[in-house]
Amino acid sequence: MTTTRRLISFDWALKRLLRSKANFGILEGFLSELLRDDIKIVEVLESETNKEGATDKHNRVDLKVRNARDELLLIEVQYEREWDYLQRILFATSKTLVEHLDEGEPYAAVPKVISVNILYFDLGEGEDYVYVGRTSFRGLHNEDALALSPQQQALFPERTEAGELFPEYYLIKVNQFDDTARDRLDEWIYFLKNEEIKDDFTARGLAEARAKLDVMKLPEAERRAYERWQEDLHYQASLVLSNYGVGKLEGRKEGRRDALYEVARRLQAEGESPERISALTSLSADEIASL
């Protein structure tokens, strides 16, 4: 029989628990399944947006880590819709490149940056729930990939094509996942969406996550802080609704409906009952059931 347990949400864990070396195994498991690689984290680096202010609690959380190959991985959890989000992650990777190239160093020291984005809103249009963006240099006439020369491969022994030196982007559209775990990455995405880990899940890092992210195992003060944070999410959901006053709805009904659906999905992921979600969002039972 498969059972589930109440676990801490991944964004809270990123902000408060997964920065500890003792918990690196959880992050290494997630990144290894996503990147289809054996990721070993060397250190957690400071990220500018890791703030403790009230407004940060419900908006975004990010983490910057360095792996054993000296690559930089930017991990971000984002709830609120930003139409220019793609440009923002481009800026973030570019800024990271500049920050980690010391004055006087050759350009060969520019690090590889991988941007991992866990999104709880619908970004763009597409049927999949995981999208990968990479740079590719292709011949205009022959369509061949631009390969590194022997001298360049001596500088970058793990790369063969020119595009592999450039940043990579992973977009995980959590709300678009249908809760069917077809592989081990899907098992992680199921956890990201539902804050639950099924007993038959075998993805790397999930067993450690089940053991260390149990809400009931938190120290009392930490558990209270987590519960306050959960309450703050509900409060922010109410603010989203309040920001769409009657006078603002003209010509924006579709946008309002999208916002209500996003709020409802988040509340649903937190385990709220359909009745409570309906009371907060004014959505019908049928609409909530269809999410």
Q: Which two tokens stand for residue 221?
A: 């003060």
Same domain, yes or no: 265 and 208: no
What letter does residue 217 receive in the DSSP assignment?
A: G
Single-letter residue type at 23: N
Closest of 190, 80, 195, 83 to residue 130, by C-alpha: 190
C-alpha span between 291 and 275 (Å, rounded): 14
185 close to 130: Cβ distance less than 8 angstroms: yes
What's the confidence (pLDDT) of residue 152? 96
pLDDT of res. 250: 44
The rounded distance, in Å, linking the Cα atoms of 26 and 213 is: 10
Within a domain: residue 17? yes
Considering only residues 222 and 3, tell me which one the structure prediction assigns the higher pLDDT.
222
DSSP-based three-state secondary structure for 62: strand
Same domain, yes or no: 67 and 54? yes
Amino acid identity at 107: Y
pLDDT in tens, 105-162: 999 999 999 999 999 888 889 999 999 999 999 999 999 999 999 999 999 999 999 9
CA distances from residue 229 to 220, 225, 234, 270 in whole angstroms, order as listed: 14, 6, 9, 12
4 domain-assigned: no
Is position 280 within any domain? Answer: yes
DSSP states of 100-168 as a string?
TS-TT--GGGPPPEEEEEEESS--SS-S-SEEEE----B-TTT--B-BPPHHHHHHSTT--BGGGGS-E
Taking alpha carbons only, the member of 147, 149, 122 closest to residue 137 is 147
Please name which of 17, 35, 16 lies closest in space to residue 26, comparing C-alpha atoms.
17
Among 198, 215, 232, which residue terminates a domain?
Answer: 215
Same domain, 269 and 194: no
- The answer to whether residue 74 is domain-embedded is yes
Question: What b-and-e string marks burial along 186-196, b requiring 16 or more CB atoms within 10 Å of the CB?
Answer: bbbbbbbbbbb
Q: Which domain holds residue 285?
A: 218-289
Angle between helices 184-194 and 24-35 (to 10 degrees): 120
| Adjacent-strand bridge partners of 172 | 118, 130
Residues 119 and 246 in one domain: no
Looking at the fold, whether 15 and 138 belong to one and the same domain comes out as yes
Residues 210 and 131 in one domain: yes
Single residue among 160, 182, 215 that ends a domain in this structure: 215
Q: What is the pLDDT of residues 162-174, one digit of tens each?
A: 999 999 999 999 9
Same domain for 132 and 198?
A: yes
Residue 251 lies in a domain: yes
Q: Residue 188: is its pLDDT beyond 50?
A: yes
pLDDT digits (tens, 9 = 90+) for 194-226: 989 999 999 999 999 998 888 766 777 777 777
**Which pLDDT score is estimated for 230?**
65
pLDDT in tens, 10-59: 888 888 788 889 999 999 999 999 999 999 999 999 765 544 443 343 44
Domain boundary among 175, 199, 215: 215
Please indicate, yes or no, whether residues 200 and 229 belong to a single structural domain of this protein. Answer: no
Count of structural domains within the chain: 2
Residue 3 lies in a domain: no
42 in Cβ contact with 68 (< 8 Å) = yes
Do 193 and 54 belong together in one domain?
Answer: yes
Q: Are residues 151 and 276 in the same domain?
A: no
Same domain, yes or no, for 257 and 191?
Answer: no
Place of tokens 């993805």: 203
Judge whether 126 lies within some domain. Answer: yes
Is 285 found in the same domain as 148? no
